[in-house]
């Protein structure tokens, strides 16, 4: 009996049923491969290989990229513009009031950069005063006195320079308010694609939904990445512009007092004669 047991051949190992590999205990590798399809690189690859199937995704992606580029462009431009204006404002205003000769003060204002606003407001006020003075005794002087004529010129100058400060704010506001919804469109379309794949495959496996869900999450994230900086920049520039407009109004009031009465409030009547 011992000899028979020793000579009995060992049973061959049972072959692994391929179906067993699909069981939950063997699904780690398959799930990992499916989850790797949720990255941006995979999404871009699929969009490049199948542009027709991902037409909506292309539209959403291009729209978000354009919004982002425009928002960053206006953010940088407005930051530099406001920084330069704020850095030069006090120097320009002080130069005008500290120059004793009226003609010399205007010459210094004309030498300022073309986009410097305070000097342009002062020049417009001076031109209005000179124009009214040259037309004394005419119908212009009879219909509008000197103070009213200068006041109208200053209002137009302040409105013009204030409008220049708002360049790009509409783009920032639009991008900040609509980019999340544009990203949401990509999200909805990605979920819709996941449902289509589930219906086509007949099973709600992670292989069928990983790609579309990844697309949906990426589009949502891109929409937020575009919107958040745009909203922050818009609010910051609105605050800065409010402060700059306040300086415009203060300078314009002083200019009106000077050109209408011949002296700034608090100055001697003989200043800049």
Q: Is pLDDT of 18 > 80?
A: no
Is the per-residue pLDDT at 88 higher than 50?
A: yes
Tell me the pLDDT tens digit for each residue of 119-155: 999 999 999 988 877 776 566 555 668 888 899 999 9
Find all residues with CB under 8 Å of 176, minimum gap 6, and list them: 71, 227, 228, 230, 231, 234
Strands, DSSP E only, in the chain? none
Of 110, 117, 112, the closest CA to residue 81 belongs to 117
Q: What is the pLDDT of residues 242-266, one digit of tens each?
A: 999 999 999 999 999 998 887 666 5
Which pLDDT value is given to residue 29? 46
Q: Residue 164: what are its φ and ψ, rounded to 5°?
A: -65, -35
Q: Is residue 160 part of a domain?
A: yes
pLDDT at 33: 54
Do 57 and 216 contact (CB within 8 A), yes or no? Answer: no
With H, G, I as helix, E, B as strand and everything else as coil, classify residue 138. Answer: coil
pLDDT, mean over the chain: 78
Nearest Cα neighbor of 228 from 68, 40, 69 is 68
pLDDT of residue 220: 86
56-65, 221-230, 254-263: which has the highest mean pLDDT? 221-230
Q: How far apart are CA 155 and CA 110, in angstroms?
A: 20
More reliable by pLDDT, 66 or 273:
66
Q: Does residue 118 form part of some domain?
A: yes
The answer to whether residue 200 sits within a structural domain is yes
Percent of the chain with pLDDT over 90: 44
DSSP string over 226-247: HHHHHHHHHHHHHHHHHHHHHH
pLDDT in tens, 148-185: 889 999 999 999 999 999 999 999 999 999 999 999 88
Domain count, the chain: 1
* pLDDT for position 53: 54
In a domain, 124, yes or no: yes
* pLDDT of amino acid 243: 95
Separation CA 57–CA 187 (nearest Å): 9
What percent of the chain stands above pLDDT 70?
66
pLDDT of residue 93: 94
Please report whether residue 6 resides in a domain: no
pLDDT tier at 56, thresholds 50, 70, 90 = confident
The answer to whether position 184 is within a domain reads yes
Which pLDDT value is given to residue 74?
A: 97
CA distance 138 to 116: 34
Q: What is the mean pLDDT of residues 60-88?
A: 94
pLDDT score of 125: 93
- pLDDT for 16 beyond 50: no
Confidence of residue 42 (pLDDT cuts 50, 70, 90): low
Entry field: residues in the chain: 273
CA 62/CA 185 separation, integer angstroms:
13
Surface-to-core class of residue 91, CB atoms within 10 Å of its CB (0-12 exposed, 13-18 middle, 19+ buried)? exposed
Give the residue numbers spanning the domain of 245. 41-261
13 found inside a domain: no
Q: Both tokens of residue 163?
A: 């409008």
pTM above 0.85, yes or no: no
In a domain, 209, yes or no: yes
Average pLDDT over residues 225-239: 96
């Amino acid at each position: 009996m011992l000899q028979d047991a020793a000579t009995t051949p060992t049973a061959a190992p049972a072959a692994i049923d391929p179906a067993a590999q699909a069981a939950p205990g063997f699904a780690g590798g398959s799930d990992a491969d499916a989850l790797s399809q949720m990255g941006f690189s995979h999404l871009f690859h699929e969009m490049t290989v199948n542009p027709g199937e991902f037409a909506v995704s292309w539209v959403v992606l291009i729209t978000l990229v354009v919004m982002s580029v425009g928002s960053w462009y206006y953010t940088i431009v407005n930051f530099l513009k406001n920084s330069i204006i704020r850095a030069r404002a006090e120097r320009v205003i002080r130069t005008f009031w500290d120059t004793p000769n009226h003609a010399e003060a205007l010459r210094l204002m004309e030498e300022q950069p073309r986009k410097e606003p305070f000097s342009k407001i002062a020049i417009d006020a001076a031109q209005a005063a000179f124009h009214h003075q040259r037309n004394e005794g005419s119908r212009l002087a009879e219909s509008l006195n000197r103070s009213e004529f200068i006041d109208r010129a200053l209002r137009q100058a302040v409105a013009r320079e204030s409008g220049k400060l708002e360049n790009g704010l509409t783009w920032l506001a639009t991008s900040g308010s609509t980019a999340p919804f544009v990203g949401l469109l990509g999200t909805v379309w990605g979920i819709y694609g996941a449902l289509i794949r589930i219906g086509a495959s007949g099973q709600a496996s992670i292989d069928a939904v990983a790609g579309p869900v990844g697309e949906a999450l990426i589009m949502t994230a891109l929409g937020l990445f575009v919107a958040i900086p745009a909203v922050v920049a818009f609010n910051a520039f609105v605050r800065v512009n409010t402060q700059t407009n306040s300086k415009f109004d203060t300078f314009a009031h002083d200019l009106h007092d000077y050109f209408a009465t011949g002296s700034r409030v608090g100055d001697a009547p003989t200043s800049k004669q």
